[in-house]
Structure 1
């Protein structure tokens, strides 16, 4: 772990109880950040917090529905009070409600939009005031290769494409305050969410991963740590002249 002062910078990771969020929280802790592990239920973040503290880091589990403005404001204020001023925000919280358009309900659409897009908006709006006052900030939004379109994911694809536009606008508005905004767009990453997709299409997960790997130039599917590595760069001081970018972490170029 990099040597830090007695008051390390604070990172917030949403959806950090498992998958990409948990891997990101662990990586940022290893980079020297104190990490707020945000998930829908505070208890869900316990394993991530325990893993960070066992490795000598500092972490706090916080329960919040990122699509609820009141809960977001309360969570950010608690983090600022208990951990310190937020310097990094990773908007990772997400859900799937996959279906073909003619079968997709209004609830399927609204749930995905509220968590991915509204959640990122509310979290960033709540955190940016702290970053502006500090003259430093890093916002990293989780997009997806599905932003380019994916069968059965009209809601998810639209939300992830929207996050790219949101990212670029943040970069324009917040850059003069020392705040950068970038997006990471994973391809196939082996997580509970992709396992759910396999179940939806009626495939065993191992076979699903093997089939996906044959279409990826590096000949394997991704793991959460692959995405966490990219987020780590965007969260660092070294990335200060990189803003408004979308980095595909997908094992090869996309069409």
Structure 2
């Protein structure tokens, strides 16, 4: 990592890297402080489309991590930006929550159940059979199928929960239509994040806890990658993948000195 160009910008996943089940991971606050002190541009990324950046800011603040809304980039925001570019002023039927509906509204989209341009599937804790049935019928009738992220499951205090990828599989089985996923591991989300902070891939690092989303999306976007072992991936699992992160560390606390080191080049 140190043999390449100096690092000017950082992208980091949120869950499993900075927080775990509403609790800050040791070193997370120090990492953010190090970025601010060294004047590095950065974004916190998440495939979770349930919450708005304001909601997430409040959630992080309760755990002791102070971040402005502007540095939080969600799969919902990336999806809304993608759709606004593809079909400005379009319409969508959304299976999701406030993070997704708010992002689409702010992007100039109309939310409707009548002949929408898109069916947009996002994360939610309250998937309803009625909403999924409506989505299936609209897709069969010609609506384009978009999903925020392919994660099949997600964590909760009570255990694993089905996530967007699982529900998308159900809809695909019923309709024969695969969704276009905007969130990680699609490099599209990484590029939109880079553009947001005017960063270049050669001078940016991506930090994540999942090989199959964070690391591979960073790699395919041309970024250096750091895998932390505080989330979904254990050290022995790394060897099972045909690609490798630039560096593997125990936790975000191990990245703090690296920020200062690379900022001083």
TM-score (norm 2): 0.35
Asked which structure has the greater CA Rg, the reply is 2
Identify, as 1 or 2, the structure richer in helix: 1
